[in-house]
Structure 1
Amino acid sequence: MERELLLECQRSSRSAQRKVYEKMAGKLYSVCRRYLKNDEDIEEVLADTFYKIFTKITQLQNLDTFEAWARKIAVNECLQKLRATKAQFISMDENFVETSGTSSENISFEKDILSLLNFLPEGCRAIFNLFAIEGYPHKEIASMLSISEGTSKSQLNFARKKLQELLINQNI
């Protein structure tokens, strides 16, 4: 993102805000889409995200981190929406045993995987996104979602198994 454009946003320039919106809307929509299924919820969260971005941009000290900062706001808004709608987590045994898998296998069909995320329950999808895509550790995920660390791990395990089944069934 251009530094001068962000400085203009910090000065509350409407034209600069519009340009930032146009440049970032697609990226942030994709982030929200990974967490939420309903288009109305996504649009609501996206609006809240941009409101927060433009009202708090003066607090951002390092403009070079703008995109990561904006993305984090979008993720937090999605999580807030999930908490407000009381996303359901699949009941599983807290005595979690992680399945073995080779993490060195890179999946070259990211779009297919992301589209399959829509078949996961909301809570499970959120944990998969936070862990596998955003890179949060289980302890932080548990804190963010007010669940136990074991629940976070078991939900991730469930998501992996479900995605694996979906991949096999769809011959991807």
Structure 2
Amino acid sequence: MDSYPDDKSLVAACVAGDRRAQEVFYRRYAPTALVVCRRYSPDREEAMALLNGGMMKVFEKLATFRWEGSLEGWVKRLVFRSTIDQFRGQPRRPTLEVADWDQPTEASATHSLYADDLCRIIDMLPETSKEVFWLFAVEGFNHAEIAERLQFSEGNSRWHLNKARQILREKLQSDAFKINRYAG
């Protein structure tokens, strides 16, 4: 058990430069921040590098946290922004603009799968479509927010979401995923 009973005392110790407190903070918030990084890199080593870069930003800005919301949410947001910044320097992938393709898909196919199976399938998506899918379906962003974050149009965001849904639907309907591997 750590000697920091609440987040405020832990943050105060981290800001004061207490290395033990910084380790406790890292161990407390790194697992949830790693989930953000794994969305952008299925490779564990690269995801860990993204996490460490993001956590460095968190420690740099920790003194500016205003306690107006969740500390965990703030950490995840900073790690997300740091991750996006690291990918911004890379060449842009070509994208196709198609409007009005945001069609609903059948949700019942996913009910028989477990979370790790879904993550494995989602990791198979093309990078931009995977990113849009996660932001929309998991994080709850709308197309305008996604377009602003990823610096392309709302129509492009809708197209990538539809493409991700199509690929997921095809994979979920394939024979490999029809049988639940955990069933007796």
Return 5-14 or 131-140, whichever deviates more: 5-14
Q: How many residues end up aligned between the 2 structures?
A: 171
1:99 to 93, 96, 103: 103
* CA pair 30-100 structure 1, distance change in 2 beyond 3 A: closer
Note the aligned Cα RMSD (angstroms): 2.4
Q: TM-score, normalised by structure 2?
A: 0.81
Divergent runs of 4+, >6 A: 103-106
Shift of 1:133: 0.9
1:136 alignment partner in structure 2? 141
Structure 1, unpaired ranges of 5+:
none
Return 36-45 or 23-32, whichever deviates more: 36-45
Distance in 2, Cα, partners of 1:8 & 1:20: 10
User: How many percent identity over aligned positions?
Assistant: 27
Shift of 1:103: 6.2
Q: How does 1:1-172 map to 2 (within 5 A)?
A: 2-3=6-7, 4-62=9-67, 65-86=70-91, 88=93, 90-91=95-96, 93-101=97-105, 107=111, 109-169=114-174, 170-172=176-178
Q: TM-score, normalised by structure 1?
A: 0.86
Q: Are the aligned partners of 1:89 and 1:123 in contact in 2 as well (CA < 8 Å)? A: no
Shift of 1:12: 2.3
Return 98-107 or 25-34, whichever deviates more: 98-107
Shift of 1:89: 5.4
Structure 2, unpaired ranges of 5+:
179-184
Shift of 1:73: 1.3
